[in-house]
């Protein structure tokens, strides 16, 4: 499976809001929103881009960490049950402890990820459970002083700090023309403008690098999604987890407004082929009336075939 990896080498820390442990991965709806906003800033007509996305001519994944040459992928949810069965056959304490560590591990390198999606079990002894993903989350204290009494309000914001040769990458699959005409220029602009919150402080700036990558996959009717998704048909879900999405809508020209809370299916979930959908927030309220333009949320899936034998 041929894809493009867009590596983001961060020059400044990244702020994504949300809870401390839940900042990475940066979800596909955020990336899509940032790309659309960058295209509008570049005065590009986005209708063909959105049209192509709706027609499934391309897809965008969430952004996962990389360190050096190593790309990390999320754990497909079917693999825990695989391992459970293996341990059941040969129950011993050592195996059990390894399983616990395996279950807690958030990301796997490409080699192990390929094993998992092709129905093989990675060697539990060879996995580096202490592996670092090239980033650290730190709470930065900030203070506001009351302008009558000078009493202080202390608050913290969580920022992600990356190692020099590490960062985040996301995958693009599909039409080369779209990649060349829309994704590349948008990402280059975002590199200077920053991605995520507190861009006015200078956070989230990066240098992009575009690479081709190939994933070894086999034919299957089951898939793992590497993006957030809302499937059109709920019966396609096999193993899944939910995530609440919300917060503010970024708009350059319109009135700021909060997003409605939307439940999405998380990266790593296993489902049948379902492209997901683009959500028009007008279905949730009079958003275009209040903000001044339409707001679309990306809930399209990024599917990788996965072999899962019982």
Q: Residue numbers of the site for other proteins (CB under 8 A)?
A: 141-142, 144-153, 200-202, 248, 252-253, 255-256
| 89/252 with CB nearer other proteins | 252
CB of residue 258 to other proteins, shortest distance in Å: 9
CB of 122 to other proteins, least distance (A): 35
CB of 18 to other proteins, least distance (A): 18
Beta carbon nearer to other proteins, 13 or 275: 13
Residue written as tokens 């379902």?
A: 274
Phi, psi of 254 (to 5 degrees): -100, -175
**Cα distance between residue 161 and residue 306, in whole Å:** 33
Please state the closest distance from residue 185 (CB atom) to other proteins, in A.
Answer: 20
Work out how close the CB of 296 gets to other proteins at its nearest, in angstroms, rounded to a whole number. Answer: 20
> Of the two residues 151 and 283, which places its CB atom closer to other proteins in the complex?
151
The residue to which tokens 């961060």 are assigned: 10
Q: How far apart are CA 240 and CA 254, in angstroms?
A: 35
Tell me whether residue 253 or residue 283 sits nearer to other proteins (CB atom): 253
Q: Which residues on adjacent β-strands are paired with residue 154?
A: 143
| Sequential DSSP letters for 177-210 | HHIIIIIHHHHHHHHHH-SSS-GGGTTT-EEEEE
Using CA atoms, how far apart are residues 110 and 13, in angstroms rounded to an integer? 25
Q: Which is nearer to other proteins, 198 or 245 (CB)?
A: 198
CB of 13 to other proteins, least distance (A): 9
Question: Which among 34, 67, 38, 32 has a CA at the least distance from the CA of 50?
Answer: 32
Helix, strand, or coil (residue 215): coil
Residue for token pair 């906003």: 37
Please name the residues in contact with 3: beta carbons below 8 A apart, sequence gap of 6 or more.
171, 172, 173, 212, 213, 214, 215
> How many residues are there in the chain?
310
> Cα separations (Å) of 107 from 113, 173, 224, 268, 278?
9, 21, 14, 10, 27
Taking the complex as a whole, the smallest distance from the CB of residue 150 to other proteins amounts, in Å, to: 5
Q: Toward other proteins, which CB reaches closer, 110 or 199?
A: 199
**Toward other proteins, which CB reaches closer, 151 or 286?**
151
CB of 254 to other proteins, least distance (A): 8
Comparison of 21 and 141: residue with beta carbon closer to other proteins: 141
């Amino acid at each position: 499976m041929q894809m493009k990896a867009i590596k983001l080498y961060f020059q400044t820390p990244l702020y994504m809001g949300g809870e401390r442990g839940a900042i990475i991965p940066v979800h596909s709806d955020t990336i899509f929103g940032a790309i659309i906003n960058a295209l509008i800033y570049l005065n590009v007509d986005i209708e063909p881009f959105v049209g192509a996305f709706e027609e499934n001519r391309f897809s965008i994944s969430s952004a996962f960490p990389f360190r050096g040459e190593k790309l990390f992928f999320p754990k497909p949810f079917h693999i825990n049950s695989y391992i459970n069965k293996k341990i059941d056959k040969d129950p011993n304490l050592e195996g059990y402890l390894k399983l616990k560590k395996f279950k807690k591990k958030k990301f796997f390198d490409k080699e192990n990820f390929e094993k998992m999606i092709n129905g093989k079990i990675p060697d539990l002894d060879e996995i580096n459970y202490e592996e670092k993903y090239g980033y650290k989350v730190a709470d930065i204290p900030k203070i506001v002083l009351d302008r009558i009494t000078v009493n202080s309000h202390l608050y913290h914001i969580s920022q992600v700090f990356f190692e020099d040769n590490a960062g985040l990458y996301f995958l693009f699959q599909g039409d080369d023309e779209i990649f060349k005409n829309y994704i590349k220029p948008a990402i280059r602009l975002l590199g200077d403008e920053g991605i995520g919150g507190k861009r006015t402080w200078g956070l989230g700036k990066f240098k992009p690098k575009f690479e081709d990558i190939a994933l070894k996959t086999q034919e299957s009717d089951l898939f793992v999604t590497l993006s957030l998704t809302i499937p059109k048909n709920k019966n396609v879900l096999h193993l899944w987890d939910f995530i609440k999405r919300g917060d503010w809508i970024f708009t350059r020209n319109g009135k700021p407004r909060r997003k409605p809370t939307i439940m999405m299916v998380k990266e790593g979930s296993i489902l049948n082929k379902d492209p997901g959908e683009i959500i028009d927030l007008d279905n949730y309220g009079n958003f275009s009336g209040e903000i001044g333009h339409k707001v679309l949320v990306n809930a399209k899936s990024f599917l990788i075939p996965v072999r899962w034998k019982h």
